Structures are given as C-alpha cells and as structure tokens.
C-alpha cells in the first residue's frame, strides 16, 4: 500500500488545495492531509478549524484522512510509514521553493520521494494573501474557496480576529 502525505497550512483551504487532494487521492492508496503551522505568518483559522473545513470538503474521498501535526514533515512521515510527499506547484517561484525543501527532505529521509503536482490553471494565481485581501474588501470568493470557507473568512476578517 502506498501512503502519501500532503502537508500545508491550508489557511485558508482553497479550491486549488482541494483539486490537488482529489488528484493525489487517485494516485495513492492512502493520503494524509497534514495541517501544519506557518510560523512566519499569523493564522486566520485555528488548526482545528482548518481540519474541519478539509474534512467537510473531502468526506467523499474514503482514502483521505486529515491530521494536525507540528514538527518536521519527514519525521511524521516516518512515524506513519509514508513514502511519498505531495506538493503543489503554481509557478516557477513555487518550483524553486519546493526544490529546496525537497533537497532538505531527501537529506533527512532519503527513502521519502517528493511528488509535485502542477496546479490547475484555474487556481495558479490563488494565494492565501490574495484571498485574504479579496475577502477583506468584499470580493467574490465563490470560485476560489469552498462556500463554508468563504463565509468564515469574511466573518473572521470583518471581526479583525486572527488565530495562532
């Protein structure tokens, strides 16, 4: 059985993330979506909220589970015996960033293979910072995030609260 891990902050979860999760779920026997913390940014949603959004959005994918994890992704992968690390690429900047991470992961755990999936063209421009900006000023997010995420994002940004 091939077990893969798709890590990310997912703050907020986007339709681009969901597309990658769906595609990865067809490539591997099991997929664990790992919600982590981006230590360089203030979070809008708590890890538990992010997990709830993902679980609600992938409930039809029987081979996908969602977990919260802190620490090195490769350490988590060793614990669960995962062999593939899934990453999404939107552009050349993502490629360069992911290339460095893949190199470090290979140095730490040579048995783990990084698999990069190209983002669907509909979502190549989507980033969390852009989504937050659009939500803050009342723009239409309906084609970019699940409906529950759009509502929660607008509510959270209007209230001025962020989570860690």
What's the pTM value of the predicted model, to 2 decimals?
A: 0.93
Query: Strand, coil or helix: what is 139?
Result: coil
- Distance (Å, whole) CA 87 – CA 113: 11
Give the residue numbers annotated as catalytic, written as ranges. Answer: 17, 41, 90, 128
Residue 102, pLDDT score: 97
90 a known binding residue? yes
- The pLDDT confidence band at residue 164, using thresholds 50, 70 and 90, is very low
Residue 162, pLDDT score: 53
Torsion angle of alpha carbons 62, 65, 66, 69, nearest 10°?
-170
- The pLDDT confidence band at residue 39, using thresholds 50, 70 and 90, is confident
128 a known binding residue? yes
Radius of gyration of the chain from Cα atoms? Answer: 15
Q: pLDDT tens, 76-130?
A: 999 999 999 999 999 999 999 999 999 999 999 999 999 999 999 999 999 988 9
């Amino acid at each position: 059985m091939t077990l893969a891990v798709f890590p990310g902050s997912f703050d907020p979860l986007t339709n681009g993330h969901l597309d990658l999760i769906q595609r990865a779920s067809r490539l591997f026997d099991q997929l664990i979506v790992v919600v982590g913390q981006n230590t360089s940014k203030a979070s809008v949603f708590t890890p538990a909220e992010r997990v709830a959004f993902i679980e609600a959005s992938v409930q039809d994918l029987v081979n996908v589970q969602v977990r919260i994890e802190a620490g090195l992704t490769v350490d988590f992968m060793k614990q669960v015996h995962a062999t593939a690390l899934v990453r999404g690429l939107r552009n050349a900047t993502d490629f360069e960033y992911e290339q460095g991470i893949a190199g470090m992961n290979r140095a730490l755990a040579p048995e783990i293979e990084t698999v990069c999936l190209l983002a669907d063209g509909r979502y190549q421009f989507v980033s969390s910072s852009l989504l937050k900006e659009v939500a803050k000023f009342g723009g239409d997010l309906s084609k970019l995030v699940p409906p529950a995420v759009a509502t929660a994002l607008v509510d959270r940004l209007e209230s001025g609260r962020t989570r860690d």
